[in-house]
Amino acid sequence: MARILITGGSGFIGARVAAALAARGDTVVSFDTVVGPEIASLAEANGRVTTVTGTLTEWPHVADAVRIAAPDAIVHCAAVVGVVNSLASPVTTMRVNVEGSLHVLECMRLFGVRRLVNLSTEEIYGHFTADLIDEEHPCRPIAPYGITKFAVEQLARDHARTHGLECIHVRTPWVYGPRFPRPRAPMTMLDAALAGRPLHMARGGDFVVDHVHVDDTVAGILLALDKPDHRYDAYHIATGTMPSLAEIAAIIRALVPGSEITVGPGPYYFGDKVAAVRKGALAIDRARAELGYAPRHDIRSGIAAYIAEAVAGPR
């Protein structure tokens, strides 16, 4: 049974990682600025799950969390997430994502924690140069979000090299599932469909990007966490496919009878303002070969699972 510190344990992915670790008997400490409802009920139900409140930007808060947790490894989910948020608050994004992650790395060095699984993103690549890319694709991030997330990877590589840490970067594309915290497709479409509201997105139908169900993301994180030795320090935890938003809208219409979800052609704009860069699919050959990762869901079965869970309520 391992002891795992999760930064961002109140978040969409972090809370789900916490639940999966707790279910297999690990001891989990969540560090976050807030205590969200999922982690709160998990902690109430399971004596091996605790929460520590603090911010990544305050070194003593991070040091306290690492000291209290005395973890075997850290799963680093906390961040200012998303292109729109990062453009709205570039300085905070820099502080939380870069300075905050350095606090985590420095605490690992000082408290003798060897392994980090860091949640990274396809935004570190910038414009994809092909429809299907692997982990060796050049990293030319564009928005503060991707720039800071790439900086975290590079700083972690430096800490790994100079201080003997093991920092593994799980690069995920668009993760979807119930309780996604930002207004983005497919959640916006699904919320409308399930509420019986018609939704027409004026543009974005031609935009393609790999979409991974949150349960597959969590499975990949746990595989990276558990593998004793890594030959690589970065893995795509994705599906290797690239549904368009028009295809996703059609799947939702088929799965939610009577739903009126449509999307016009053209590129996607975050928050209806910021054009998304060219994206595509993330090859998962490395994760398959090295981690034994095999996503359970394609986009259709993932959306069906999302709908089933949203209808049934929190599990």
Ligand X SMILES: NC(=O)c1ccc[n+]([C@@H]2O[C@H](COP(=O)([O-])OP(=O)(O)OC[C@H]3O[C@@H](n4cnc5c(N)ncnc54)[C@H](O)[C@@H]3O)[C@@H](O)[C@H]2O)c1
- Give me the least distance between CB of 225 and ligand X, in Å please: 14
Does residue 13 belong to the site contacting ligand X (CB under 6 A)? Answer: yes
Does residue 181 belong to the site contacting ligand X (CB under 6 A)? Answer: yes
Q: Site for ligand X (CB under 6 A): which residue of 4, 5, 6, 8?
A: 8
- Give me the least distance between CB of 134 and ligand X, in Å please: 17
Cβ contacts of residue 89 below 8 Å, gap of 6+? 80
- Give me the least distance between CB of 8 and ligand X, in Å please: 3
Stretch that binds ligand X, among 50-58, 230-238, 253-261, 282-290 (CB under 6 A): 50-58
Instruction: Count CA atoms closer than 13 A to 210's CA, side-chain side.
Output: 29
Count Cβ atoms below 10 Å from residue 149 Cβ, excluding itself.
29
For residues 183-207, one letter each, b for 16 or more C-beta atoms within 10 angstroms of the residue's C-beta and e for the rest, the string is: ebbbbebbebbeeeeebebebbbeb
**Exposed/middle/buried for 166, CB within 10 Å: 0-12, 13-18, 19+?**
middle
Q: Are 224 and 206 in contact (CB under 8 A)?
A: no
If the CB atoms of residues 10 and 259 are measured against ligand X, the closer one turns out to be 10
Does residue 14 belong to the site contacting ligand X (CB under 6 A)? Answer: yes
- Give me the least distance between CB of 176 and ligand X, in Å please: 7
If the CB atoms of residues 41 and 57 are measured against ligand X, the closer one turns out to be 57
Q: Are 118 and 156 in contact (CB under 8 A)?
A: yes
If the CB atoms of residues 46 and 55 are measured against ligand X, the closer one turns out to be 55
- Give me the least distance between CB of 14 and ligand X, in Å please: 6
Cβ contacts of residue 197 below 8 Å, gap of 6+? none
Stretch that binds ligand X, among 26-34, 128-136, 257-265, 294-302 (CB under 6 A): 26-34
Stretch that binds ligand X, among 54-62, 107-115, 136-144, 186-194 (CB under 6 A): 54-62
Instruction: Tell me the residue number closest to ligand X, measured at CB.
Output: 11
The tokens for 228 are 């004793």
Does residue 218 belong to the site contacting ligand X (CB under 6 A)? Answer: no
Total residues contacting ligand X by CB under 6 A comes to: 26
Does residue 30 belong to the site contacting ligand X (CB under 6 A)? Answer: no
Does residue 41 belong to the site contacting ligand X (CB under 6 A)? Answer: no
The tokens for 26 are 């690990």
Does residue 12 belong to the site contacting ligand X (CB under 6 A)? Answer: yes
Measured N-to-C along each axis, helices 245-255 and 299-312 cross at an angle, to the nearest 10 degrees, of 50
Does residue 55 belong to the site contacting ligand X (CB under 6 A)? Answer: yes
Find the binding residues for ligand X in span 108-167 (CB under 6 A): 119, 121, 149
Cis peptide before 186 (omega within 30 of 0): yes
Listed residue (288, 221, 234, 237) closest to 26, CA to CA? 221
**Exposed/middle/buried for 255, CB within 10 Å: 0-12, 13-18, 19+?**
middle
The tokens for 187 are 């959640």
Q: Site for ligand X (CB under 6 A): which residue of 11, 71, 141, 146?
A: 11
Does residue 19 belong to the site contacting ligand X (CB under 6 A)? Answer: no
If the CB atoms of residues 20 and 262 are measured against ligand X, the closer one turns out to be 20
> Which chain residues interact with ligand X by CB under 6 A?
8, 10-14, 32-34, 55-57, 77-81, 96, 100, 119, 121, 149, 172, 174-175, 181
